[in-house]
């Protein structure tokens, strides 16, 4: 047995949303290093182009497609462009997401729709659009980036927790429905991750202390803490795993 091939993605095509920054950027590069050809999707064209050029400079076959995935009609067009460019779609990483932390009685309809539309609605329609090609191939891997908040509640996150709980149930539903097409649908549910987006949250020492008190391993996650789960669920090593949510939360949900 060649252990080096366990998580090898040579010849695969991966689409990742929210790829222009943060963990999306880090995961996109990881998929490329593992051998995948990578389609980068996000709204910021400038950041996408810079990342694509960086990855190409490292020998990774990369394309980018600026797209607002809250516009459902644009998703099908985006997936079609990826398919036409690479000739296949093997892996979808639904990473794009947003949080608008507010007390529940201050959440507006616009806040609710903004969070649910990006975190849940767009994830479903990206699955639907990519699933079309995966069904034709009779093979595919879909990884939804959920959150520990799919399992537990937390202050000022009514919309976010609802969206991520929905992602976990979406994962289960699609796993059952698409199993006959050999499409594996799973999700990764991290705890708080140190990124530019969360940096301002942790400027509040009381908030940081409260969060850390809930993580038995005693630290925040980093992007690289998700890498093992991502490669496992993207590769043939997880061919018998579907409908699962893998919590990468330092033990938060064990309490």
- Eight-state DSSP code of residue 188: E
Q: Left (φ > 0), alpha (ψ -120 to 50) or beta: where does 123 sit?
A: alpha
Q: Which of 33, 65, 133, 160 is catalytic?
A: 160
Cβ neighbours, 10 Å, residue 124: 18
Residue 135's contacts (CB-CB under 8 Å, 6 or more residues apart) are: 178, 181, 183
Catalytic status, residue 154: no
The helix/strand/coil state of 151 is coil
> What angle separates helix 122-137 from helix 158-177, to the nearest 10 degrees?
20
Q: Which residue has 């064990």 as its token pair?
A: 254
Catalytic residues: 160
């Amino acid at each position: 047995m060649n252990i080096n091939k366990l998580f090898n993605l040579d010849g695969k095509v991966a689409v990742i949303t929210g790829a222009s920054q943060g963990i999306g950027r880090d995961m996109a590069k990881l998929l490329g290093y593992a051998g995948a050809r990578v389609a980068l999707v996000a709204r910021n064209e400038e950041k996408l182009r810079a990342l694509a050029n960086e990855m190409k400079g490292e020998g990774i076959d990369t394309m980018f497609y600026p797209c607002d995935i809250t516009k459902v009609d644009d998703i099908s067009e985006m997936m079609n462009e990826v398919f036409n460019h690479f000739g296949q779609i093997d892996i979808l990483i639904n990473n794009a997401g947003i949080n608008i932390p507010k007390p529940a009685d201050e959440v507006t309809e616009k806040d609710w729709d903004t969070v649910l539309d990006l975190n849940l609605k767009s994830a479903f329609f990206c699955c639907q659009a990519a699933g079309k090609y995966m069904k034709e191939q009779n093979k595919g891997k879909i990884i939804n980036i959920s959150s520990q908040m799919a399992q537990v509640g937390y202050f000022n996150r009514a919309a976010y927790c609802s969206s991520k709980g929905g992602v976990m149930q979406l994962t289960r539903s699609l796993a059952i429905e698409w199993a006959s097409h050999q499409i594996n649908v799973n999700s990764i549910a991290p705890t708080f991750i140190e990124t530019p987006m969360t940096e301002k949250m942790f400027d509040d020492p009381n908030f940081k202390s409260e969060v850390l008190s809930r993580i038995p391993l005693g630290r925040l996650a980093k992007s690289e803490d998700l890498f093992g789960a991502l490669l496992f669920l993207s590769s043939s090593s997880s061919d018998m795993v579907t409908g699962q949510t893998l919590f990468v939360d330092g033990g938060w949900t064990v309490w």
